[in-house]
Structure 1
């Protein structure tokens, strides 16, 4: 399949992925900006960096696209402890130590396995070369019998085997400052070197789209940003919130949904005045679901609505500025 054909798989602007309840994938409404960014990323073979506040649909974008076009979906959520080896290949030192202790305790025990046997493929290995990742470390007999490791993700297929992979690197801004720069070579070359010197590279027969998300909690290196196609998911307008809600809850009371969507601008401003993160699309959908289930009127006179407003949209807690300052201080 040509590169042009791969980006033509992306749904049209304002198309909706209907969702997959069996796999617990929610519906997703593709904006015109998201569609363009996805097509550019596929056409240029560059990673797509998706920026926006928590709850705006960054993670759902990658998963919905994979499900819609029938590609394999792989995901790794970044933490402050994530290192490059976790994404490429880790050496299982603990298993190697156990084998060494067993060999020393039992006279005549077999020697340690080759170093390669202790490699544990990360998501980049699976995304670049699924065949070698699935059979790595297995004996020749096991390979001959068709044994393979389980895919660390969710595979979506249509009638034919999946042609490509959507790889999601979620919340890159949670990583230590060095990690984005460490990713430059794997992202540029679509490959990496194993500890034994061998090179794992992306198979030319399979397409790959890497989606990287950030909440903007930490500034990313310029060298990293230059290598990405960037997409900023802005706060949806009330009309778009109504459209999103209709896709998620088709039978919802339209007047109620419109009233709630109209109030989101007020809630966002109030949250910022209080030093808290403004409610995102996910909180809006939670509020719609709660109001539908409890038959709540969107009115200050309704005590249940005031509780929903406080519990879902203006959540009490520590101001965002204080939390962010504590996080930066700890880092």
Structure 2
């Protein structure tokens, strides 16, 4: 098998660096990102599918050295809590029941005899103590970004395709963006004897790191993260939500920008024109010209062009000189089935 294209590296070969290093941001996009950073406001990025909205977040994180992007992919079932944290109450109470059963068996085994040492709270009782609640809490992408953003080095969080959410989610995020913090009620309700003496509880972050939250259950960010929200324009958002965001509309890349993208991903430096269309450069140029022609009449995405050029580099003939069903499939309109 040949190596995958740079935009399809998965598993250990995939990282935010690979995802964002070839993105070519326009001066206006750079200005809007900087404005969002200075104002500590979310950036709402709109544009047609495949224009590079998600890649912008990875490019910013890569360029500024702020680690991998924390990605929250939105579905119709996504809620505010999904982005902040999850609490596995079932696993916690299963562990309590298991511990109580083990102590009960130990009592039966050593009844009337000297038994092994047990912690003071467990002696003479088969009742299990509640395990540390932090073991059963995992922060979501947004919750992790809020808790681990530091002054001068905020985390980048991508809320991807918010227009796919239910109608309430944008409004549910309003106060979160204003306050820069949230509460975990399961921690806030803990009785005093279950609170940490250190005044904080360790929890798992979305990317696996250990983070600490106050034992009162309040998580407050030290510095507001860079929140990039993408939308394909499938629906409008409430004015109150839009007021709290800076808005950036990404246009389809120009021919010159497409050439830069192709060179960055595939190493192909396409000429402006060629006198011999039968050469490999001429054939690749003909695919670019075909893509630009198709884009005038129907919705096609940049990665469709990159897919076609990658296959062409593998020796598959996709040139427009002849009828080609594979080429037609690769460059079909996004609205076509």
1:192 is paired with a residue whose SS is strand
1:166/1:211 contact within 8 Å kept: yes
1:310/1:316 contact within 8 Å kept: no
TM-score w.r.t. structure 2 length?
Answer: 0.69
For residues 172 and 317 of structure 1, do their structure 2 counterparts lie closer, same or farther at Cα, with a shift above 3 Å needed? closer
What is the number of equivalent residue pairs in this alignment? 262
2:70/2:142 contact within 8 Å kept: no
Q: Match for 2:322 among 297, 302, 310?
A: 302
Q: Describe the superposition over 1:258-292 as per-residue Cα deviations: whole angstroms up to 9, x where unpaired.
A: 43333224323443xxxxxx111111211221222
Q: Match for 2:36 among 36, 41, 49?
A: 41
For residues 121 and 295 of structure 1, do their structure 2 counterparts lie closer, same or farther at Cα, with a shift above 3 Å needed? closer
Q: Cα offset for 1:93?
A: 2.1
The answer for unaligned runs of 5 or more in structure 2 is 1-5, 105-125, 189-215, 272-281
1:230 is paired with a residue whose SS is strand
1:74 is aligned to 70
Q: Match for 1:192 among 179, 182, 186?
A: 182
CA distance in 2 between counterparts of 1:316 and 1:87 reads 29
For residues 209 and 97 of structure 1, do their structure 2 counterparts lie closer, same or farther at Cα, with a shift above 3 Å needed? same
For residues 115 and 244 of structure 1, do their structure 2 counterparts lie closer, same or farther at Cα, with a shift above 3 Å needed? closer
For residues 66 and 317 of structure 1, do their structure 2 counterparts lie closer, same or farther at Cα, with a shift above 3 Å needed? closer
**Considering only CA atoms, is the larger Rg found in Structure 1 or Structure 2?**
2
2:318/2:327 contact within 8 Å kept: no
1:232 is aligned to 249
How does 1:125-204 map onto structure 2 within 5 Å?
125-130=143-148, 163-195=153-185, 196=188, 198-204=217-223
2:52 is aligned to 57
Instruction: Note if 1:282 corresponds to 2:282.
Output: no
For residues 316 and 38 of structure 1, do their structure 2 counterparts lie closer, same or farther at Cα, with a shift above 3 Å needed? closer
Give the root-mean-square deviation of aligned CA atoms.
2.9
1:102/1:109 contact within 8 Å kept: no
Q: Describe the superposition over 1:146-170 as per-residue Cα deviations: whole angstroms up to 9, x where unpaired.
A: xxxxxxxxxxxxxxx9922111111
2:139 is aligned to 121
1:51/1:213 contact within 8 Å kept: yes
CA distance in 2 between counterparts of 1:317 and 1:51 reads 18
The answer for unaligned runs of 5 or more in structure 1 is 1-17, 132-160, 272-277, 320-331
2:288 is aligned to 261
Q: Describe the superposition over 1:171-213 as per-residue Cα deviations: whole angstroms up to 9, x where unpaired.
A: 1111111111111111122111221163211114xx6211111
